[in-house]
Amino acid sequence: MTTLALISAFLPARNSLNEYGFHLAKAFARRDDIERIVIIADKVDELEPELQIHPKIEVRRVWRFNKISAALDIVKALKEVSPHYALFNLQTASFGDKEIPAALGLFAPMLSQKAKIPTGVIMHNLIDAVDLNQTNLAGHNFRQKIVSFAGTVFNKVLLSSGYVSVTLDSFLEILHHKYKAENAFLVPHGSFNCEKSVDVPKLSARPNRIVTMGKFGTYKKLERMISAVQRLNKENYAARPIELVVGGSDHPATNGYMDELRAQHANDKNIVFHGYVAEEDVPKFFKQGRVAVFDYDSTTGSSGVLHQAATFGTTPIYPLMGDFIDVTQREGLKGFNYIPLDEDSLMQTIDKALSMPEKAQQIADSNLSVSKVLSMDIIAAMHMRLLEGVERCRFYKLRNSTKRALWLRPRVL
């Protein structure tokens, strides 16, 4: 019996990457060569029933966010499970929003590999690629230096596992050039909910509505977007106002941010604060919008929300900056673009997307096609091949480019 341990934040817990772990687990469960999947997941504060996902999948709530013993708790659970393979679904703050527990948790993949379990890491961001001035460390130069140094140390720790995969070319270049990593690979982010056909309404059948979703308050803010929508409604859309629906919650570093905005705009009926969007509500959330807006001051990795918008045929609007350029060029996603940090440009681009329905529909259809090609089944197949490479202690057969990007066509999986 081939057993895979997937270490990840996991629904119904609400920590970052919970939905990615959920969809990746379902993709692995559809594979004939995997007979058992054990999710080693984060604990929930309130007892909630586990989702009945698939008979192959078992969820063990093992580690707690911001607890310094998370790595040891995970390794203990791995030894009890005795899996053939272990795959970690991580970002730099997976184990805490405080520096020490967040850092100590990142020892877990190395310890797993040292326990003779072929171990892989999906790393969704890298400290080296983050503009720390756009985080809660802005203005704290000494702390920024400490975090940068720690990021370098812990990237080396992560690379002590069997392999590390990233979703962006820029991240791969950092691992290859700065760390001289021979076990770093590019595996695309992949798109959710493509395991079955999805009823996606045409944009013309949707209301004049914008959606946006995320954890807000740091590099993802809402003030500029709200102002742009309000100005458009006053100047161009008085007869048929644009509605902005905000899904998501505060970033852990900015508690109270959403409540403050909600109070400020309590009298604006066209600004709706939806709150947390549960997994079963994600399709409905995106299919209600004509466009999905991403107004970021900076980027920290491939956007899962961008992929969700593509999956449900909602036309994205995003700034021409950083990781948005990287992921859209790599995966072929498209959208309407505006000048970063520029409210006038954002406003004009929203107006353009809403007033050019044929162009918007072409973009939505193209993204939908890309989503079906880059399904989580393809991503799971790539990681299985990498894990098998770790088990055999060889990688060269996996490399099909000078950049060692694992970009496999379905027919060779």
What are the tens digits of pLDDT across the range 296-313?
A: 887 766 677 888 898 899
| pLDDT score recorded for residue 161 | 93
Residue intervals of the chain classified under CATH 3.40.50.2000 are: 3-190+376-412, 203-373
- Give the Cβ contact number of residue 40 at 10 Å: 28
Give the domain 3-190+376-412 fold. Answer: Rossmann fold (3.40.50)
> What strands, in cross-sheet order, belong to the sheet with 209-216?
271-275, 243-250, 209-216, 291-293, 315-319, 336-338
When pLDDT is averaged across residues 184-202 and rounded to a whole number, the result is: 77
| pLDDT score recorded for residue 82 | 95
Indicate the pLDDT class of residue 413, thresholds 50, 70 and 90.
Answer: very low
pLDDT tens digit sequence for 41-52: 999 877 667 777
284's tokens: 């409905």
When pLDDT is averaged across residues 43-69 and rounded to a whole number, the result is: 86
Is it the case that residue 410 has pLDDT exceeding 50? no
Q: Higher-confidence residue: 197 or 18?
A: 18
Query: Angle at which helices 18-29 and 376-392 pack, to 10 degrees?
Result: 80
Query: Are the CB atoms for 17 and 192 separated by under 8 Å?
Result: no
Indicate the pLDDT class of residue 134, thresholds 50, 70 and 90.
Answer: low
Is it the case that residue 27 has pLDDT exceeding 90? yes
| pLDDT score recorded for residue 407 | 39
| pLDDT score recorded for residue 405 | 42
When pLDDT is averaged across residues 343-348 and rounded to a whole number, the result is: 95
Region of poorest pLDDT, from 23-37, 64-78, 397-411: 397-411
| pLDDT score recorded for residue 396 | 42
Mean pLDDT for the chain overall: 86
How far from each other are the two terminal CA atoms of the chain, in whole angstroms? 21
Strand partners, 6: 39, 87
Q: Which of 57, 66, 59 is nearest to 95 (CA)?
A: 66
When pLDDT is averaged across residues 174-200 and rounded to a whole number, the result is: 81
| pLDDT score recorded for residue 353 | 95
Indicate the pLDDT class of residue 406, thresholds 50, 70 and 90.
Answer: very low
Class at the top of the CATH hierarchy for domain 203-373: alpha beta
- Give the Cβ contact number of residue 207 at 10 Å: 11
When pLDDT is averaged across residues 53-64 and rounded to a whole number, the result is: 92
Is it the case that residue 343 has pLDDT exceeding 90? yes
Is it the case that residue 357 has pLDDT exceeding 80? yes
Count of positions (residues) in the chain: 413
| pLDDT score recorded for residue 209 | 94
When pLDDT is averaged across residues 87-94 and rounded to a whole number, the result is: 93
Strand duo 3-7 + 336-338: pairing? unpaired
Q: Which of 272, 98, 299, 278 is nearest to 189 (CA)?
A: 299
Indicate the pLDDT class of residue 140, thresholds 50, 70 and 90.
Answer: low
Region of poorest pLDDT, from 22-26, 104-108, 142-146, 245-249: 142-146
| pLDDT score recorded for residue 14 | 77
Indicate the pLDDT class of residue 397, thresholds 50, 70 and 90.
Answer: very low
| pLDDT score recorded for residue 346 | 95
CA angle centred on 77, ends 160 and 16, rounded to 5°: 70
| pLDDT score recorded for residue 409 | 33
pLDDT tens digit sequence for 153-168: 888 999 999 999 998 8
Is it the case that residue 401 has pLDDT exceeding 60? no
Residue listed under structure tokens 């940090």: 341
